Chains A and B, each alone.
Chain A
C-alpha cells in the first residue's frame, strides 16, 4: 500500500438517459411545474381521478461498473477501449469533475487532468493572458506559471504573437499555445485524454517527446488514446475497458491484442449506443454491385452504406475516419466541411451511400470510424470501427508486387499521373 497512488474499488457511474428530452439540454422547469400540478390534482381528486401512470421515460445507463484497479507511483498506464466504453467517464471521476455513483477511489497526491487542450481560453484575451488563465484553471499557482512562462512560450513557438488576442491566431497557433501550457503542468499524477491528436506531424512528435519526458520524470501518468503507436511508446501497462467494465489489465502488447480481438468479436452486433441528435444505426462496406462485403478492391470507389436517425437539428455532419490495423488514421471525410453537406433537417431515419475516392490502399486490415457531429464542433455519436474490412492485395496496374501495410511505407500506394520519362541532361559546362 505504501506507494499506491490510485486505488479504485467497485467503482461505478450511472447516468440517467431521458429519451423524451434527448433533444434539449437539461430539463424544462415548465415540465416540473406541470408534473407537480398534475400530481397535486391527482391527489385532490383521490383514487377515482384519472390515473395516468407517470411514464418514466428515463433509463439507467452504467458508464462504469465494478471497476477495480490499483496504480503505483511512477506507473505509466494507458486506458484503451472503443467510444462509449467509459474511458472519459473514468478520467472524469478520477479528476473529480464528476462524482461516482458507487464504489470508492483513493488518491494519494495532486491530480491534474488534461481532458482537452485550451480549456477556458478566451478569444478576446492575448496569448500571454490566456497562458496564465489556462494554467490557473489547470491547477497551477501563479508562481509556478511565472517560473515556467518563458519555457511555455518557447515550446509553443508563437513568441511573436504572444501579446495578440488569440482570436487572431490560426488554428495551428492556437492549438500549439494551448498544448504548450498543458505540457508544462506540474502534478504528481497526470491524467491525459487524447490531446495528442492535434497539430501537424512535427508538432505531434514534439508533443510525444514531451510526453515521454514527463513520463520518464517519475510521475504517474494515465493516458487515454486511440493511437496504439503512442500508447506503445509511452506506457507499459494498459487497462482495457468494454461497456464500462475492465476486461483486461496488463502489459500493453497483450492489451492491444486483446482489444483488437474483442473488436473483431463484437463486430457482428455490438451495441452502438446512440447520440443526442443523430444516431448511427448500421453501416457496411459495399462492393461494386451494391452488396455488403468485407473485402475492398484497391482502385475502386470506397463505398460505405450508412443508416442513421436524426432529430433534424440543422448543421449536423457525418464524418468518417479510415484507420489501418495499428489504428493510425489514414484518411478523413467530413460531410459538413469537405463537401458542405449537412444531415437532413426533417427528423427521421435515413440511409445513404458514401462513395469515396478510388484508393490504392495497402494490403491489410482497416477499420472505419463513423461519427456524427454538430458542425464539427461537438461530437454527437461516434462508433469506432463501425465497419472493418480487408484488402487482400494491392498491386496497381497488375504489377507483380504486393504493397502491404507491413512494409512500413504507409497505407497508400502512389501512382503516376503521367508517364515517367528520364531525360538525359547534358553535363554542365564550366
Chain B
C-alpha cells in the first residue's frame, strides 16, 4: 500500500561542514521521535522504582522543611514579606529544582543516549529537548505541594499567579542554555560532568532560594542579578506571593539578557559539535 503513495523525492547531500539549512524544519519532522523519547524517559522513571513517583514529591518537600526549620526558625532570617516563610521558600525552591534537574539531566543526556547517537541519525537536539519533559513532569508534581501549602496556610495568591506559565518557560530557557553547552562539553571532556552537580549545590545557596533577593544590599543587587536564576526566582515569587515580593526590574532585565546569551551560546556550541558526537560517544 505504501507504493501507492506518491513518493516524496528526498535529495540529500552529505559533505563536510555542510550547514544544514533544513535543520530546524527537520527537527519538526522528528517530533514523533521527540515525544516517544520523552515518553520513554517518563515511563522508565516512574516504572523503575517504587518511590519513582513519590521522589518528585519527597525531594522538594524535605528541602522545604529543612530550609523552613533551619533558616526560618533557627537562623531567624528576617521576615521581609507578609507571606508565610514556607511559601516564600517553596516559591523559590520550585524554579530552582526545575532549573537544577534540567541542568543535571540535559547535560548528561547526550552521553547517556550514546548508543542511539552512534547508531541512528536524527537531529541531536531531540535528545536534550526530550529530557526536559521529565523535569517538567516532576515540576508539575511539586506544584501540588505548593497548592497543599497554600491550603494549609489559607493563603490566597493574587492575579499574578496566572502568569506562572511564562516564568516556567523562562526557567526552562534559562537552564537549557548552559545545559546544552555542558552537554556538548561532556561529550568531549568526560570529567566535566563532575562539575555540574558541584555547581548546582553551590548555586542553591548563591541563588535566592532560602531568602528573598530583597535582602541583598541595593548597590549589589544589579551585580547579583548576573546570575540568571535570580530573575527566574524573583519572577516565581512575584507570581505566587504577588505584590509582597516585587520584581526588581533592572536586575530582571539583566537576568534576561544573561539568559539569552547563554541560550545562544548553548545552541551554537551544540549545533557546532553535534555532527561529531557519533565519533566521540
Contacts and interface: CB of A to CB of B under 8 A. Distances in A.
A136 B33 contact: yes
Interface in B2-55: 2, 7, 9-18, 32-33, 36, 40, 43-44, 47-48
B158 to A, nearest CB: 43
Interface residues of B, number: 41
Nearest to B34: A136
B280 to A, nearest CB: 6
Contacts of B43: 124-125, 129
Contact of B16 (A100, A116, A186, A188): A100
A104 B12 CA distance: 10
Nearest to A136: B36
Interface in A86-124: 92-111, 113, 115-116, 119-120, 122, 124
Given A96-B121, A97-B119, A125-B44, A109 B189 contact: no
Interface in A1-56: 15, 24-30, 32
Contact of B121 (A113, A122, A144): A113
B127 to A, nearest CB: 11
A141 B188 contact: no
Contacts of B190: 24-29
Contacts of B47: 124-125
A119 B119 contact: yes
A298 B216 CA distance: 87
Contact of B191 (A30, A95, A186): A30
Interface string A127-156: 001001100111101101000000000000
B218 interface: no
B275 A99 contact: yes
Interface string B99-135: 0000000000000000111111110000000000000
A137 B187 contact: no
A28 B192 CA distance: 8
Contact of A98 (B36, B192, B276): B276
B9 A137 contact: no
B2 A104 contact: no
A32 B186 CA distance: 13
Nearest to A105: B14
Given A98-B278, A122-B40, A107 B119 contact: no
Interface of B is mostly: helix
A108 B16 contact: no
Given A97-B119, A105-B13, A105-B14, A137 B191 contact: no
Interface in A138-192: 138-139, 141-142, 144, 186, 188
B183 to A, nearest CB: 13
Interface in A49-103: 92-103
Contacts of A139: 120, 122
Contacts of B191: 28-30
Contact of B44 (A15, A122, A136): A122
B185 interface: yes
A108 B9 contact: yes
| Max chain B C-beta neighbours (<10 A), residue from A93, A110, A186 | A110
A33 B203 CA distance: 22
Contacts of A105: 12-15
A102 B16 CA distance: 6
Contacts of B275: 98-99
B14 A104 contact: yes
A110 B10 contact: yes
Nearest to B17: A99
Contacts of A144: 2
Given A97-B278, A124-B44, A27 B188 contact: yes
B15 A100 contact: yes
A139 B30 CA distance: 9
A92 B33 CA distance: 20
A116 to B, nearest CB: 5
Given A98-B278, A120-B115, A133-B40, A26 B13 contact: no
A108 B7 CA distance: 11
A29 B192 contact: yes
Contacts of A25: 190
A124 B48 contact: yes
Contact of B120 (A97, A101, A102, A132): A97
A421 B190 CA distance: 68
A420 B116 CA distance: 56
| Max chain A C-beta neighbours (<10 A), residue from B40, B48, B185, B195 | B40
B36 A138 contact: no
A122 B36 CA distance: 12
A94 B14 CA distance: 8
Given A28-B191, A186-B2, A133 B14 contact: no
Contact of B116 (A28, A29, A120, A129): A120
A188 B12 CA distance: 13
Nearest to A218: B3
A137 B116 contact: yes
Given A27-B188, A125-B40, A133-B36, A119 B16 contact: no
Contacts of B280: 26
Contacts of A119: 115-116, 119-120
A142 to B, nearest CB: 6
Nearest to B45: A124
Interface in B200-250: none
A116 B188 CA distance: 24
| Max chain B C-beta neighbours (<10 A), residue from A15, A29, A93 | A29
Contacts of B116: 119-120, 137
Contact of B14 (A30, A99, A108, A116): A99
The 7 closest A-B pairs by CB, nearest first: A29-B189, A96-B121, A107-B12, A26-B190, A105-B14, A136-B36, A98-B278
Interface of B: 2, 7, 9-18, 32-33, 36, 40, 43-44, 47-48, 115-122, 185, 187-192, 195, 275-276, 278-280
Given A96-B12, A102-B16, 7 more contacts: A28-B191, A94-B14, A97-B121, A104-B15, A105-B13, A109-B7, A109-B9
Interface of A: 15, 24-30, 32, 92-111, 113, 115-116, 119-120, 122, 124-125, 129, 132-133, 136-139, 141-142, 144, 186, 188
18 contacts: A24-B190, A25-B190, A28-B191, A29-B185, A94-B14, A97-B118, A97-B278, A98-B278, A99-B18, A101-B16, A107-B12, A119-B120, A124-B44, A125-B40, A137-B116, A138-B120, A142-B36, A188-B7
